[in-house]
Structure 1
Amino acid sequence: MSLVFEHTTLGQRVLFGSGKAAENLAAEVARIGPGKVMVIASEFEAVIAAAVSQNIEVTLMYDDVAPHVPIEKADKARAAAVRHGIDLLVCIGGGSTTGLAKAVAMTTGLPIIAVPTTYAGSEATNVWGLTEASRKTTGVDDKVLPITVIYDAELTTSLPAELSVASGLNALAHCVDSMWAPRADPINQALAAEGIRALNQGLPLVKDDPEDLAGRELALYGAYLSAVAFASAGSGMHHKICHVLGGAYNLPHAQTHATVLPYVLAFNSAAAPEAERRIAAAFGSEDAVGGLNQLRERLDAPTALKNHGLAEEDIPEAVELILSQIPTSNPRAVTRENLTVLIQAAFAGSVPEV
Structure 2
Amino acid sequence: MTLAFTHDTLAQRIRFGSGEAAASLSAEVAEQGWTRAMVIAAPAESELAGAVTDGLPVAHVHDDVVMHVPVAVAERARRAAAEHRADVLISIGGGSTTGLAKAVALTTGLPIVAVPTTYAGSEATNVWGLTEESTKTTGVDAKVLPRTVVYDASLMLSLPVDLSVASGLNALAHCVDSMWSPRTDPIDQALAAEGIRALDAGLPRIVADPSDLKGREQALYGAYLAAVAFASAGSGLHHKICHVLGGRYDLPHAPTHAVVLPHVLALNGPAAPEADDRIARAFGSVDGLTGLQDLRRRLDAPRALRDYGFEESQVPDAARAVLPAVPPDNPATVTPDVLEDLLHRAWEGAEPR
Normalized against structure 2, the TM-score is what? 0.99
How far apart are 1:203 and its partner, in Å? Answer: 0.1
The equivalent of 2:78 in structure 1 is 78
CA distance in 1, matches of 2:43, 2:73: 15
CA distance in 2, matches of 1:58, 1:210: 32
Structure 2 residue runs of 5 or longer lacking an equivalent are none
The equivalent of 1:19 in structure 2 is 19
The equivalent of 2:53 in structure 1 is 53
The equivalent of 1:151 in structure 2 is 151
CA distance in 1, matches of 2:313, 2:340: 12
The alignment partner of 1:324 has SS state of: helix
CA distance in 1, matches of 2:114, 2:17: 14
The equivalent of 2:10 in structure 1 is 10
How far apart are 1:4 and its partner, in Å? Answer: 1.4
Contact kept in structure 1, 2:35 and 2:57, CA below 8 Å: no
Structure 1 residue ranges, 4+ long, deviating more than 4 angstroms after superposition: none
How far apart are 1:158 and its partner, in Å? Answer: 2.1
How far apart are 1:233 and its partner, in Å? Answer: 0.2
What is the one-letter code of the residue matched to 1:208? Answer: A
CA distance in 2, matches of 1:213, 1:117: 14
How far apart are 1:35 and its partner, in Å? Answer: 2.4
What is the one-letter code of the residue matched to 2:168? Answer: G
The alignment partner of 1:66 has SS state of: coil
Matched, 1:115 2:115: yes
The equivalent of 2:208 in structure 1 is 208
CA distance in 1, matches of 2:327, 2:143: 24
How far apart are 1:57 and its partner, in Å? Answer: 1.6
CA distance in 2, matches of 1:326, 1:53: 42
What is the one-letter code of the residue matched to 1:213? Answer: L
CA distance in 1, matches of 2:34, 2:126: 25
Contact kept in structure 2, 1:22 and 1:55, CA below 8 Å: no
Contact kept in structure 2, 1:246 and 1:252, CA below 8 Å: yes
The equivalent of 1:304 in structure 2 is 304
CA distance in 2, matches of 1:123, 1:329: 27
The equivalent of 1:94 in structure 2 is 94
CA distance in 1, matches of 2:197, 2:138: 28
The equivalent of 1:285 in structure 2 is 285
- The Cα offsets for residues 47-88 of structure 1, whole Å up to 9 and x where unpaired, read as 110111013121000000000000000000001101111100
The alignment partner of 2:22 has SS state of: helix
Contact kept in structure 2, 1:23 and 1:55, CA below 8 Å: no
The equivalent of 1:230 in structure 2 is 230
CA distance in 2, matches of 1:183, 1:92: 30
CA distance in 2, matches of 1:81, 1:329: 41
How far apart are 1:34 and its partner, in Å? Answer: 3.4
- The alignment of Structure 1 onto Structure 2 pairs a total of residues equal to 353
CA distance in 2, matches of 1:289, 1:55: 48
**Residues 159-308 of structure 1: matches in 2 within 5 Å?**
159-308=159-308
The equivalent of 1:28 in structure 2 is 28
CA distance in 2, matches of 1:272, 1:261: 16
Normalized against structure 1, the TM-score is what? 0.99
The equivalent of 2:128 in structure 1 is 128
CA distance in 1, matches of 2:37, 2:320: 43
Structure 1 residue runs of 5 or longer lacking an equivalent are none
The alignment partner of 2:350 has SS state of: coil
CA distance in 2, matches of 1:99, 1:228: 16
How far apart are 1:333 and its partner, in Å? Answer: 1.4
Matched, 1:67 2:72: no
Aligned-pair identity in percent equals 64
CA distance in 2, matches of 1:303, 1:275: 24
**Residues 319-338 of structure 1: matches in 2 within 5 Å?**
319-338=319-338
What is the one-letter code of the residue matched to 1:50? Answer: G
CA distance in 2, matches of 1:136, 1:158: 30
CA distance in 1, matches of 2:283, 2:75: 42
Contact kept in structure 1, 2:34 and 2:88, CA below 8 Å: no
CA distance in 2, matches of 1:92, 1:249: 26
CA distance in 1, matches of 2:194, 2:17: 19
**CA RMSD, 1 decimal:** 0.5
CA distance in 2, matches of 1:80, 1:55: 21
The alignment partner of 2:157 has SS state of: helix
What is the one-letter code of the residue matched to 2:123? Answer: E
The equivalent of 2:347 in structure 1 is 347
- The Cα offsets for residues 124-178 of structure 1, whole Å up to 9 and x where unpaired, read as 0000000000110000000000000000001011210010000000000000000
Deviates more, 1:2-11 or 1:215-224: 2-11
CA distance in 2, matches of 1:92, 1:300: 28
What is the one-letter code of the residue matched to 1:218? Answer: Q
CA distance in 1, matches of 2:263, 2:34: 49
What is the one-letter code of the residue matched to 2:214? Answer: A
Contact kept in structure 2, 1:251 and 1:310, CA below 8 Å: yes
CA distance in 1, matches of 2:35, 2:323: 46
How far apart are 1:283 and its partner, in Å? Answer: 0.3
CA distance in 1, matches of 2:145, 2:34: 21
What is the one-letter code of the residue matched to 1:70? Answer: P
